[in-house]
Chain A
Amino acid sequence: MSHAATSFAPGQSRTGPRILIGLAVLLTGLLVVAPLIYIFARAFSAGWGAYVRNIMAPDTLHAIWLTSITALIVVPVNILFGIAAAWAVAKHRFPGRGLLVTIIEIPFSISPIIAGICYLLLYGRQGLLGPWLQAHDVQMMFALPGIVMVTMFVTAPFVAREVLPLMQAQGTEQEQAAVTLGASGWQIFTRVTLPGIKWALLYGAVLCTARAVGEFGGVSVVSGNIRGQTNTLPLQVELLFNDLNAVGAFAAASILTLIALVALVLKAVLEGRKAV
Chain B
Amino acid sequence: MTITITGMRKRFGPTEVLRGIDLTVEKGELVALLGPSGSGKTTLLKIIAGLDWPDMGGLDVDGVNWLNLPAQDRRIGFVFQHYALFPHMKVRDNIAFGLTVRPRSQRPGRGVIAARVDELLHLLQIAHLGDRYPAQLSGGQRQRVALGRALAIEPTVLLLDEPFGALDAAIRRDLRNWLREVHGATGSTSIFVTHDQEEAFELADRVVIMGQGQIEQIGSADQIHDRPATPFVANFMGATVEIPVTMRAGRIEAAGIDATRLERRVLPDGPATLFLRPDDITPIADTQGCWTIETVASTGATLRIALKDGAGNRVETVLPRRAPEAAGLTPGTRTHLRPEAGSVFPGPRPATTPAPAAQAPAKENIR
A interface residue numbers (CB < 8 A to B): 91-93, 171-184, 187, 191-192, 195-196
- Give chain B nearest CB distance to A159 CB in angstroms: 20
Q: Using CB atoms, name the residue of chain B closest to A194.
A: B88
Task: Indicate if B169 sits at the interface (CB-CB under 8 A).
Answer: no
- Give chain B nearest CB distance to A276 CB in angstroms: 9
- Can you list 25 residue pairs at the A/B interface with Cβ under 8 Å? A91-B366, A91-B367, A93-B364, A173-B84, A173-B365, A174-B84, A176-B51, A176-B78, A176-B80, A177-B149, A178-B101, A179-B71, A180-B71, A180-B72, A180-B78, A181-B98, A181-B101, A181-B153, A182-B72, A182-B73, A182-B75, A183-B72, A191-B97, A195-B86, A196-B87
Task: Indicate if B50 sits at the interface (CB-CB under 8 A).
Answer: yes
Contacts of B75 in A (CB 8 A): 182
What separation, in Å, do the CA atoms of A177 and B78 have in the docked complex? 7
Contacts of A179 in B (CB 8 A): 50-51, 71-72
Contacts of B364 in A (CB 8 A): 93
Contacts of A187 in B (CB 8 A): 101
What separation, in Å, do the CA atoms of A181 and B365 have in the docked complex? 18
- Give chain B nearest CB distance to A170 CB in angstroms: 9
Contacts of A180 in B (CB 8 A): 49-51, 71-72, 74, 76-78, 150
Q: B110-145: which have CB < 8 Å to A? A: none
Task: Indicate if B180 sits at the interface (CB-CB under 8 A).
Answer: no
Contact B97 A172 (CB under 8 A): no
Task: Indicate if B195 sits at the interface (CB-CB under 8 A).
Answer: no
What separation, in Å, do the CA atoms of A175 and B88 have in the docked complex? 14
Contacts of B73 in A (CB 8 A): 182
What separation, in Å, do the CA atoms of A212 and B342 have in the docked complex? 75
Q: B189-232: which have CB < 8 Å to A? A: none
Q: Using CB atoms, name the residue of chain B closest to A182.
A: B72
What separation, in Å, do the CA atoms of A91 and B364 have in the docked complex? 11
Contact B82 A184 (CB under 8 A): no
- Give chain A nearest CB distance to B87 CB in angstroms: 7
What separation, in Å, do the CA atoms of A178 and B149 have in the docked complex? 10
B interface residue numbers (CB < 8 A to A): 49-51, 71-78, 80, 82, 84-88, 97-98, 101-102, 149-150, 153, 364-367
What separation, in Å, do the CA atoms of A177 and B71 have in the docked complex? 10
Contacts of A93 in B (CB 8 A): 364, 366
What separation, in Å, do the CA atoms of A244 and B225 have in the docked complex? 93
Contact A172 B101 (CB under 8 A): no
Known: A92-B367, A177-B80, A180-B71. 20 other contacts (CB 8 A): A171-B365, A172-B366, A173-B365, A174-B85, A175-B367, A176-B84, A177-B86, A179-B71, A180-B74, A180-B77, A180-B150, A181-B150, A182-B153, A183-B97, A184-B72, A184-B101, A187-B101, A192-B86, A195-B88, A196-B87
**Chain B interface, >50% SS class:** loop
Q: Using CB atoms, name the residue of chain B closest to A185.
A: B72
Q: Using CB atoms, name the residue of chain B closest to A198.
A: B88
Q: Using CB atoms, name the residue of chain B closest to A171.
A: B365
What separation, in Å, do the CA atoms of A183 and B76 have in the docked complex? 12
What separation, in Å, do the CA atoms of A54 and B308 have in the docked complex? 97
Contacts of A177 in B (CB 8 A): 78, 80, 84-86, 149
Contacts of B88 in A (CB 8 A): 195-196
Contacts of B153 in A (CB 8 A): 181-182
The 7 closest A-B pairs by CB, nearest first: A181-B98, A173-B84, A171-B365, A180-B78, A183-B101, A177-B84, A195-B88
What separation, in Å, do the CA atoms of A176 and B50 have in the docked complex? 10
Report which residue of A177, A192, A196 has the largest number of chain B beta carbons within 10 angstroms of its beta carbon.
A177
- Give chain B nearest CB distance to A134 CB in angstroms: 47
Contact A182 B86 (CB under 8 A): no
Contacts of A195 in B (CB 8 A): 86, 88
Contacts of B76 in A (CB 8 A): 180
Q: Using CB atoms, name the residue of chain A closest to B93.
A: A191
- Give chain A nearest CB distance to B91 CB in angstroms: 14
Contacts of B85 in A (CB 8 A): 174, 177
Contacts of B86 in A (CB 8 A): 174, 177-178, 191-192, 195
What separation, in Å, do the CA atoms of A173 and B85 have in the docked complex? 9
Contacts of B72 in A (CB 8 A): 179-180, 182-184
What separation, in Å, do the CA atoms of A175 and B86 have in the docked complex? 9
- Give chain A nearest CB distance to B76 CB in angstroms: 6
Contacts of A196 in B (CB 8 A): 87-88
Contact B98 A182 (CB under 8 A): yes
Contacts of A91 in B (CB 8 A): 366-367
- Give chain A nearest CB distance to B82 CB in angstroms: 7
Q: Using CB atoms, name the residue of chain A closest to B367.
A: A172
What separation, in Å, do the CA atoms of A63 and B102 have in the docked complex? 50
- Give chain A nearest CB distance to B297 CB in angstroms: 43
What separation, in Å, do the CA atoms of A267 and B39 have in the docked complex? 47
Given A172-B365, A175-B367, A176-B367, does the pair A182, B84 have CB atoms closer than 8 Å?
A: no
- Give chain B nearest CB distance to A129 CB in angstroms: 39
Contact B102 A182 (CB under 8 A): yes
Contacts of B49 in A (CB 8 A): 180
Report which residue of B50, B75, B101 has the largest number of chain A beta carbons within 10 angstroms of its beta carbon.
B101
